């Protein structure tokens, strides 16, 4: 089963306490597509500028990602610059240059309109809606967003929330979106706005999944060296949705396993800058870490 991804393709400049990377491959659609590609076929809908290096396209093609919906427009690729302090949970955004995204009108290639799984990765909510309108009968639609859009495009975002099944956001975004500091109450409000399932990513502390009748708590993987948290959230979403698209198991148990696969992919992503770690994984490594996650939170009752 395949998944359609729309989101940003970026040249990121990132600074963490452990190093720096200038104009490297990034973007919400890239991290989520490469992550999902370990589980299922991926179709990418996005835009790049004429400055986008061929080697990045080769990386995506290597992962068998379908680039039929990747437009090449005149102008510069989207650029984002951010800096993390010792608390790696939230970057300070230094610069967001939308560039080719300003004029972008996503066009889903005809055969991809039948995709059953859709991920509206972090991007302008209006573009998320444009993609959704072109899909014929998706079985599961998930979305992400960030403070940038919550502040600037709230109305569009509310329309997105009405239409999606799953929302995958981080803790700060859940608080900002709901206007509620307590996460359980924040979750209730967000579920009230449309989706059946909400996943709140909590960085090194793991993730919480809420539905109307259950809460699941996944641990964070205790990593000794974290180099760059950029893309962890998108890699999480890619693993989560890739696993669901692969198994088509949308039961509560299936969703719980998907949260762990998402956490596995996020934990690999932060071990290096850009996609350096994520791009060279093997499936046995993914499975081994999945089993470690199981041991991590397991305890025997008396
Ligand atoms: P995360 O998984 O939340 O760390 O997402 C990081 C990615 O989001 C980076 O690679 C950025 O290129 C991308 N990004 C940053 N700001 C925006 C924005 N306003 N819209 C879309 N993508 C963004």
What's residue 163's pLDDT?
98
pLDDT at 166: 98
pLDDT reported for residue 89: 81
Give the Å distance between the CA of 301 and the centre of ligand 1.
Answer: 42
Provide the pLDDT for residue 41.
98
What tokens appear for 57 in the block?
A: 């396209």
Residues of the chain with pLDDT below 70 are none
List the residue whose alpha carbon is closest to atom 6 of ligand 1.
231
User: What pLDDT score does 248 carry?
Assistant: 97
Give the binding-site residues of ligand 1, using a 6 Å CB cut-off: 8, 10, 12, 26-28, 31, 80, 96, 122-123, 146, 148, 230-234
Is this model's pTM higher than 0.95 or not?
A: yes
Determine the atom of ligand 1 nearest the C-alpha atom of 237. 2
Tell me phi and psi for residue 92, to 5 degrees: -90, 125
Instruction: Select from 5, 10, 237, 272 the residue to mutate for testing ligand 1; criterion: most ligand atoms less than 8 Å from CB.
Output: 10
78 Cα nearest atom in ligand 1: 12
3: which 2 tokens?
Answer: 């998944």
In which order are the strands placed within the sheet that holds 2-6? 66-72, 41-48, 2-6, 117-120, 140-143, 166-170, 197-201, 207-211, 215-218
Domains and CATH numbers, the chain: 3-296 (3.40.1190.20)
In this prediction, residue 39 carries a pLDDT of: 98
pLDDT in tens, 200-239: 999 989 999 999 999 999 999 999 888 899 999 999 999 9
Interval between CA 230 and ligand 1 midpoint (Å): 8
Atom of ligand 1 nearest to the CA of 26: 10
Contact call for residues 49 and 252 (beta carbons, < 8 A): no
Tell me how far CA of residue 130 lies from CA of 49, 224, 258, 263, in angstroms.
20, 42, 27, 29
Task: Quote the ligand 1 centre to 122 CA distance (angstroms).
Answer: 7
State how far the Cα of 227 lies from the Cα of 72, in Å rounded to an integer: 31
Residues 229/203, Cβ–Cβ less than 8 Å: yes
């Amino acid at each position: 089963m395949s998944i359609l991804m729309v989101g940003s393709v970026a040249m990121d400049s990132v600074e963490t306490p452990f190093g720096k990377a200038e104009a490297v491959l990034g973007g919400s659609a890239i991290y989520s597509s490469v992550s999902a590609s370990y589980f299922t076929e991926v179709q990418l809908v996005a835009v790049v500028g004429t400055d986008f290096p061929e080697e990045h396209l080769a990386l995506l093609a290597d992962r068998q990602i379908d680039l039929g919906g990747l437009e090449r427009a005149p102008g510069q690729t989207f650029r984002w610059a951010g800096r993390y302090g010792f608390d790696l949970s939230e970057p300070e955004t230094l610069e967001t240059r939308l560039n080719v995204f300003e004029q972008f009108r996503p066009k889903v290639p005809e055969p991809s309109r039948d995709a059953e799984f859709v991920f509206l990765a972090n991007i302008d909510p209006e573009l998320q809606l444009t993609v959704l309108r072109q899909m014929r009968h998706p079985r599961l639609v998930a979305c992400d967003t960030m403070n940038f859009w919550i502040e600037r495009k709230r109305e569009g975002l509310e329309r997105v929330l009405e239409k999606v099944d799953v929302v995958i956001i981080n803790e700060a975004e859940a608080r900002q979106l709901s206007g509620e500091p307590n996460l359980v109450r924040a979750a209730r409000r967000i579920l009230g706005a449309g989706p059946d399932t909400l996943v709140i990513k909590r960085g090194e502390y793991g993730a919480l999944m809420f539905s109307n009748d259950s809460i699941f708590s996944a641990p964070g993987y205790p990593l000794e060296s974290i180099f760059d948290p950029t893309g962890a959230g998108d890699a999480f979403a890619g693993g989560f949705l890739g696993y669901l698209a692969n198994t088509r198991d949308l039961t509560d148990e299936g969703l719980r396993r998907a949260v762990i696969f998402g956490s596995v992919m996020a934990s690999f992503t932060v071990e290096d800058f850009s996609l350096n770690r994520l791009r060279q994984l093997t499936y046995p490594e993914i499975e081994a870490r999945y089993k470690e996650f199981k041991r991590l939170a397991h305890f025997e009752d008396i």
